[in-house]
Structures are given as structure tokens and as C-alpha cells.
Amino acid sequence: MNWQAWKRHAGRMLAMTLVGLITIPSQAISDEVEATDQAPAHEAIVVGTPARIEVFPAQFKLAAPGRQMHLIVTGHYADGSVQNLTSVAQVVSQDDKVAAVEGAVVHPAGNGATGIIVSVGGHEQNVSVEVCNQETADPVSFQYGTLAVLSKQGCNMGACHGSPSGKGGFRMSLRAYDPVLDIETLVREAFNRRTNLYEPEASLLLRKPLMEVAHGGGRRLKKSDPGYAVLRDWIEQGCQVDPADAPTCTTLEVYPTERILMRPAHTQQVVALAHFSDGSVRDVTALACFSSSDEAVATVDDDGLVTGLDRGEAAILVRFLDKIETSSMMFLKQVPGFHWNSPPENNFVDHHAFKKLEQLQILPSELCTDEEFVRRVYLDVIGILPEPAETAAFLADADPNKRARLVDQLLERPEFAQFWALKWGDLLRIRNAKVTVGGVHKFQRWLVAAFRDNMPYDQFARDLLTATGSTFENPPANYYRTATETNDCTETTSQLFLGIRIQCAKCHNHPFERWSQDNYYGIGAFFNRVQRKPGVNPEEQVIWVARAGEVTQPRTGQQMQPWLPLTGTAELAGEGDRREALVEWLVKPDNPFFAKVEVNRIWGHLFGRGIVEPVDDFRDSNPPSSASLLSSLADDFANNGYDRRRVMRNILNSRTYQLSSRKNEFNADDVKYFSHANTRLLSAEQLLDAICRVTGVAEKFAGLPSGTRATQLPSPDVDIEFLKVFGQPARETACACERSSDSNLSQALQMINGPLVHGKVRDENNRLRAQATAGKTDEQIVDELYLAALCRHASEAEMATATAHIANAGDRMRGLEDVCWALLNANEFLFQH
């Protein structure tokens, strides 16, 4: 379930809980739940003429009573397309005494071997099945049966009994991450009423979700659900805990792992197979939870049936207890009138971006104008608007290569380093309260120098992550001053350099991702020896690494070894600085996170939206909009010395970056494939600097020299209301999301009649007065204002309107002020486009 879906779901649960409290008949609510939970109706499947069919699995074993296997039938067509034919295939057992078939699900009947004949579209496929151990009782596994059911039914989700304080006095561990706690609460709490061994059907664990007894969570279970039988049997069998030597689930296999479906093909059954330590494989589709990363593109029902709704991609997340896998789905359809016009590709960025667009039948917009480009690239690269003279010079330049030249120039400007230091200053939480005033300036100065000198990103990360010594003498050491303890280091490092928001796993296994609580503290083991002590100077802090110290997992009490994502436990004996091992792993070119996160962050900055969005929330359930684009950028980055300027240059020089924000009929709905420029409000600092640039009146920030721009601010401690209103972050977290991009009424009020804008428009020394004093005509002044604010000349109509207004204003200056004010309040000024 992605975030949106979860939010909806949680909201519904909350509503139900509240309603339950005021005892409205809950049946009505549960009916609504039933209705909304229904899978969307889909069109009938047209089988057509497949070239061949494929059945998964080709052979399998049902090694215990009650096991089953979902078969997936796929039709392959001559044009290379595929279609899920499971629901329309005929599936017949060759021996009903060995295996019985219900739909496309095979159940055991008796020991033996037989074949299952699958036929559809004129093709037939025989799948062999072996059935054994039917005479041996297979008691319900607490872990892989009971808890799986409770998870599937949502009982232990965060909004219900999985919340830290539980619900209605009944608390379970969130999504069953703590079976020890769960057995306690299920069997022993509440005077054993939850599980009634003598009369299993009377157990509250069953009667509540059936709504036989009032249940704040509504009806969660039907007697016909497979889960009902699992729970009842488990109680009947004495609420047994799994023996210590019981096989454990090692991996979860999802089939298919990826699929591209072209309309009319638009559904896909997904199965989940759990592989156990004893080598057995169980079909856990009925016990697994399914969710879609983009429900506008595709939905998935409780049985794993995915239905495509629109063009696009969605990751289907399959979770079985703590195992999570995804199935990538792309849904295509022919768009009437679409014709790929093969726009020129400036570089590999365009190649990957356009390939995706062509596949999805989205037509990119035209190239933006020089006026748009100069404004866009100045704001994106150095954070400020060009001076009218700079704009004019660029527009007048006839060199066909002038855009690339401008990009190169801007990347070398001192403002570039300052602007990107601002961005990283946010992420590194540079502010007085955290690192002291001196620390702010030293750390920011280090950041500026890093961007100015184009410090390789691996070096940048290494300097930060392995920093020791005085925070004053060695500014990157402030990384460990802002992250004041091990957990903060774990979370900050994960978010900044791995793009993983791992905070959830501090208290429990991550509910939507593969990160477990063990993983969280395993990463913490790299940082646990980092210590902080006072330095000799007032306010100075010294970061040092202790020679011993281990992390203890608070739930299990287990001492955690350093652990690396996808690599596993790192053997790091001795007294050395473990962070060095972390960085060694991190900066390897094949690290799957490090380069991607940074190029995605850069991309997100330049496009207003990351290839993965949010830019620092990488997870299977949040796939990139173009995996190949992201990979190619990351590879290029990693293989070229982690040169961030190179990444920016590649992107800025791409046609994709230079596309117009004007949409066409084939990309009007696109918000994530970069088929057109994304209009967005200037950031707080960009906007304030832009207002200063247009009016020619600088803003004075307390404690900083005159002439300091907002985009040069070392910290938000200047306390400017305008900046706060426009989303300047307080730098409390390492999350890029702290910078708010939401629009609000206060912003409008600031722009329309706020003191800052008003003061600058009326300032005695502002641009328009200087122009007037220099003897410029109204037309000249208006044109200069347009160039300053919008990087273009005023159109004839605009000029006519403006000069007429000035002429009719009575007071020339008042009229000019009005024009200036109007420009500052124009969307074309307020927005990056």
C-alpha cells in the first residue's frame, strides 16, 4: 500500500473508530468497507490468438494438507505482447484423488503425483504436481499462519491494534514484527478471552472481526475467508507457538516480477511464493498483502489480481510478514492520433527520457524559448535572476551553442556554490541552535568551498561521514554535532546518502519497506562509537571515535553487528573507525543507492520533481518514473569521479531540461515523465532575491554584511517573516520535505500588500527611480522591468497597457510603481517555468 492509499485507509479506520465510540450500528459501516474494498470492475479479457501460453509454476509440490498453489497463465502473442489469461484458462486435474482444482488454484487431495492440464486460446500446457504428507497433520504455524492472517486482515496495522498503544485495550506488534509480544497478548491477556481453547468459535479473536461482538474496527473477517479457518484451527490446536527448529521463511518470490501490458491486456494475477529454510516452497498468495504504488495507474486486490487503469507504471508491493518484494507493472495503450515525432536527443538524458515517453505515448513539449531558458537556468543554477543586461546579451547572442556556454558560465559563478550550499545547508541542518553561530559560518563556508571547487561527491560524503576533531577546525565534523546521537546519525545518513527513510524501523520493522528493526540498529553500529566532547574554545565541540561500544537492539536485547543494506553484516573487529567501512561501501560505483540519490536530488532540484519523488524516499514501493534514466545518470556520475557539475551540465544541456512548460494534447496529463517543464513557485530565497533584483533594492539581513542575498544565507536564523511564509525550512530535519512548497494565503498577502514588497516598490533608490533619474522614458523603464522580472521584452500590448497606465496615473512614479508591483505579482514572475 503506498502512502496515499495508507492515508486513505488509516483515515477510514480512524473514522470507523470514532463512529464506533458513539455506537452507530457498525454494520452499516462495514457494508461501506465491503463496497469500497471491492476490486474495480474490469473489462472482459479478449483471448485472441496467443502464439503460445506459459503456466507458472511449471511444476510444484504440495507437501502438507491444506497447501495450495495459484497457477498463472500467460499468453504470449506474435507482436511480443503478453496477456494474463489465468482467469479465462481451463484448468483440469488429471487425477482428482491426488489434486483438485478450483479456478486456477490447485489443492491437494491425496498423496501421489499427477498433471494439471491448462488450456486456453488453443494451447495446452501440462503442469506436474506432487502431493505428499497428506496423512501427517500440519498444525497451523503461529508465525506463518496466524500472524500472517492477522497481518493480511489488517488487524495489526498502525491505525488498528498495531499502533503503539493498541486499540480497545488490545495491542499487537505492528505488522507482526514482534511475535513474542503477540503470543502474549493473543493468548494470555484479557483473561484468555481472546482465544478460547475449549470453544474456539467463541474466541474474541474471531467473534470481534466477524462483528458477532461489537468491534470498533468493523467487520474484518468472513467465515468464508481462508484466514478464518487458519485462526480457528490455530486456537483449536491449542494456540501453539512454532517450535524452535521450525523452518523459517528465507525469501519471498513474486511472480511475475515485471510485466508490460498493452491494452486490451490490463490485468495480471500476481502470486507470492514463500521459500523456507527446509527448501519447501509455499504459495502464500492468500496470506500476503498487496498494494499498488500508484492507484491511479493500477489497483491490486487482496487476492493479488492487478488491474491497470491508465497509462503508466506502478509497483505492486507484496508483503508476507517481514518479507517484501515488488512486481513492476507497466500499462500501455494506443493513444489516438499519437505520433512520435522523434525529437532530437542532446545527450543520453534525452535518450532515456524520450524512450519512456515514446513507450507511454506521451509527446514532449517544444523546446523553450531563449527567454524562458535564460530565466530558468539562472534560477536553477545560481538561484537568482539575470540582470537585464545579462538577459539582453544572451538574447542577442546568435551563437547556436549559447545555451551550453551559459550553462558552463553559470556553473563557474560564485553564486552557484552559494546557492547549492544553501540547499545542502538545509539537509545538513546548519543553524545556530545546532552548531553555534561560528559553527554555522564555518560549516557553510566549507559547503560553499566544496561546491566552488567541485569536490567529488564521494569525497564530500567521506569528509562528512568520517569527520573527527574540532567542529571549528574541521567543519564537516558538524555533521555529528547536528546528529547528536547514534539514531540520528543512522536516520540522517540513511536519508541523505541512501535515500532511505528508515526512521520507522527504530521502533518496529518498517511497515512498507524491507527495512527491519535489526537493520536500523545494524546501521547504527557504524555510528555508535562516535562521541562528542567539549573543545578548548567556548562553544567548540570535538568529535571523536571511541575504541569500543556496541549497539543493543532494544526489543531483542541483542548486540548488533554493523549491517549494510543488500550486503548484510559487516565483520569489523578491532578498535578502528567503523564509519570508514561504511563509506567504502557507500562510495563504490556499484552502490545501488549512493549515486542515484544524489543525481535524483539534483534532478529534483532542476525539474521540481525527482525521478524518484520525494527525492529522498527510495523504496520498492516508490519506484522511479524512469529507472533507466536514473541508472544512466547514476552510472555516469559514479564512473566520472562523482562530478556533480558534470551531472548538472548533462541535465541542463539536455533537451528534456529545456522543454517548454507549455503542454500539448499528448502530455497534458503527465506529471512524472518530464515531458514538459514543471511550473513551480520560486523558493523563498529565490523569490526574495528576485524581488530585490527587479526592484534593485537589496534586503539587509541582521548579522550579515550588506549585499548578502537570501540565497547566500548561511542559516535561517535571520528570522525574516517573508522567507518563512514562502517555505524556508527551519532546518530541523534532514528531510528535503521540510522545505514547504505549499501555497497559502499568507504568501498572497505578502506579495499583494506585504511590507517587504511595498517597501521595495516604493523605495527612493529603487531601479525604476534610478532609471527615471537617468532620464529613461516610460517605455525604456517598463522594458527594463520586464527584462529584470521576466527575462523578456514587454509585448506591444503589455507595453501599451503599461504606458497608458503610467500616463493616466497622474503621478509618473506612482504609475511606474504600479507596473512594477503588477509584474511582481504576475505568475510569470512568481513561478519557475
Partner 1 sequence: MKRPIIAALIVGLLPASLAWGKPPSIGYTAPLGVEPGKATDVVFHGGDLAGPTGVWTSFPSTAELAPGVEKNGEDPAAVTYRIDVPAETPLGVAAVRVTTGEGVSNVRLLLVDDLPSARKAGDNKSLESAQPLTLPVAVDGACDAESTDFYKFSVAAGQRVSFEVFARRLGSALDPMIQLLTADGHELAYSDDEPSSGADSRLNHTFAEAGDFYLAIRDIRYHGGSHHYRLRIGDFPLPTVPYPLAASKGSAAEVQVTGQSVELAGPLAVSMPAQVPGDRLNVVAGYAPGQGSSWVTLLATDTPDQLEQEPNDTPETSTPVTLPGALEGRFEAPADRDYFSFTAAKGQRWVFRGQTRSLGSPGDLFMRLYNAEGGVLAEAQDNGTSEGSINVTFPADGTYRLAVEDTNRRGGPDLVYRILVEPYEPGFTLAAAAEKVDAPQNGVFVVKVTAARSDYNGPITLSVEGAGEGCTVSSNVISEGKPETTMHVTLGSSLTQGQLALVRIVGQATIGETDFRTTASTLDALRGALSGLPFPPAVLDGELALGVGPVFPEFFQIAAATPIVPLTSAGATGSVKVQVTRTGGFEEAVNVALEGLPAGVTAKPAAIAKGQTEVAVELASAAAIPPGKHPIKLVGSASFQNQPQRFIVDQVALEGPPIAIAFAPAGALPVGGKQAGTLSFAGELAPLAATATYESGVTRGADGPRAPELPGFEGDNTAASFSGIDKAPGDDRLTASLPLTAAGDYTLELWLFNARDLSLPNSPAISGYVFSRPGTPSAANAQPGEHLGIGGVESSPRDKLFFYNGEALVAGRTTLAINTWHHVALVRAGDQLTVYLNGETAHPEIQATLAKNYNANQITLGTRSDGYGPFQGRLDEVVVFDTALPPEKVQAHFNSAKADAPARDVILQDQPLAYWRLDETEGQVATSIAPPHKRLVKLAWKNLPAGLIAPAEVVLLDAQDKIDVELSAAEAVPPGKLENIVVAGTTLVSSGDFTAESPPAAIEINKP
544 makes contact with partner 1 (CB under 8 A)? yes
533 makes contact with partner 1 (CB under 8 A)? yes
| Helix or strand run (H / E) with residue 272 | strand 271-276
Cα–chain center distance at 88:
36
Q: Which is nearer to partner 1, 163 or 459 (CB)?
A: 459
Cell of 69: 498453489
Q: Which is nearer to partner 1, 34 or 473 (CB)?
A: 473
Task: Single out the residue of 535, 549, 589, 754 in contact with partner 1 (rule: CB under 8 A).
Answer: 535
CB of 537 to partner 1, least distance (A): 5
Round to whole Å and give the CA distance between 211 and 44. 35
473 makes contact with partner 1 (CB under 8 A)? yes
CB of 350 to partner 1, least distance (A): 35
CB of 705 to partner 1, least distance (A): 5
Task: Single out the residue of 67, 441, 601, 767 in contact with partner 1 (rule: CB under 8 A).
Answer: 441
Q: Which is nearer to partner 1, 157 or 530 (CB)?
A: 530
- Report phi then psi at 544, rounded to 5: -145, 165
704 makes contact with partner 1 (CB under 8 A)? yes
Q: Which is nearer to partner 1, 216 or 549 (CB)?
A: 549
| Helix or strand run (H / E) with residue 417 | helix 414-427
Q: Which is nearer to partner 1, 324 or 477 (CB)?
A: 477
437 makes contact with partner 1 (CB under 8 A)? yes
**What single DSSP character describes residue 52?**
E
534 makes contact with partner 1 (CB under 8 A)? yes
421 makes contact with partner 1 (CB under 8 A)? no
What lies within 8 Å, CB to CB, of 800 at 6+ separation is none
77 makes contact with partner 1 (CB under 8 A)? no
CB of 649 to partner 1, least distance (A): 21
CB of 652 to partner 1, least distance (A): 24
Q: Which is nearer to partner 1, 421 or 789 (CB)?
A: 421
C-alpha distances (whole Å) from 621 to each of 30, 291, 292, 778 are 28, 8, 8, 57
Please tell me the count of residues contacting partner 1 according to CB under 8 A: 29
Task: Tell me the three-class secondary structure of 68-123, residue by residue.
Answer: CEECEEEEECCCCCEEECHHHCEEEECCCCCEEEECCEEEECCCEEEEEEEEECCE
Q: Which is nearer to partner 1, 419 or 446 (CB)?
A: 446
Round to whole Å and give the CA distance between 729 and 727. 6
Q: Are 404 and 384 spatial neighbours (Cβ–Cβ below 8 Å)?
A: no
530 makes contact with partner 1 (CB under 8 A)? no
Residue with C-alpha cell 474456539? 200
Round to whole Å and give the CA distance between 129 and 112. 8
536 makes contact with partner 1 (CB under 8 A)? yes
- Which residues in the 554-613 window bind partner 1 by CB under 8 A? 577
Q: Which is nearer to partner 1, 417 or 651 (CB)?
A: 417
338 makes contact with partner 1 (CB under 8 A)? no
Q: Are 261 and 82 spatial neighbours (Cβ–Cβ below 8 Å)?
A: yes
Task: Single out the residue of 38, 342, 706, 827 in contact with partner 1 (rule: CB under 8 A).
Answer: 706
Round to whole Å and give the CA distance between 91 and 404. 62
404 makes contact with partner 1 (CB under 8 A)? no
Residue-wise DSSP of 276-334: ETTS-EEE-TTTSEEEES-TTTEEE-TTSEEEE-SSEEEEEEEEETTEEEEEEEEEE-P
Q: Are 422 and 713 spatial neighbours (Cβ–Cβ below 8 Å)?
A: yes
CB of 444 to partner 1, least distance (A): 10
- Report phi then psi at 810, rounded to 5: 85, -55
Q: Which is nearer to partner 1, 164 or 414 (CB)?
A: 414
831 makes contact with partner 1 (CB under 8 A)? no
**What single DSSP character describes residue 738?**
G
- Which residues in the 136-165 window bind partner 1 by CB under 8 A? none
CB of 692 to partner 1, least distance (A): 17
Please work out, in degrees rounded to the nearest 5, the angle formed at the alpha carbon of residue 639 by the alpha carbons of 638 and 644: 50
48 makes contact with partner 1 (CB under 8 A)? no
Task: Single out the residue of 237, 468, 740, 746 in contact with partner 1 (rule: CB under 8 A).
Answer: 468
Whether residue 614 is preceded by a cis peptide bond, meaning omega within 30 degrees of 0, is yes
247 makes contact with partner 1 (CB under 8 A)? no
Helix-then-strand count for the chain, H and E = 29, 29
Q: Which is nearer to partner 1, 289 or 467 (CB)?
A: 467
CB of 684 to partner 1, least distance (A): 22
- Candidate ranges 187-195, 271-279, 468-476, 629-637; the one touching partner 1 (CB under 8 A): 468-476
Round to whole Å and give the CA distance between 829 and 816. 17
CB of 469 to partner 1, least distance (A): 6
717 makes contact with partner 1 (CB under 8 A)? no
442 makes contact with partner 1 (CB under 8 A)? yes
Q: Are 479 and 441 spatial neighbours (Cβ–Cβ below 8 Å)?
A: no
C-alpha atoms less than 13 angstroms from C-alpha of 762 in its C-beta half-sphere: 7
412 makes contact with partner 1 (CB under 8 A)? no
759 makes contact with partner 1 (CB under 8 A)? no
Task: Single out the residue of 144, 472, 497, 829 in contact with partner 1 (rule: CB under 8 A).
Answer: 472
State the residues that interact with partner 1 by CB under 8 A: 414, 437-438, 440-442, 445, 449, 468-470, 472-473, 533-538, 540, 542, 544-545, 547, 577, 703-706
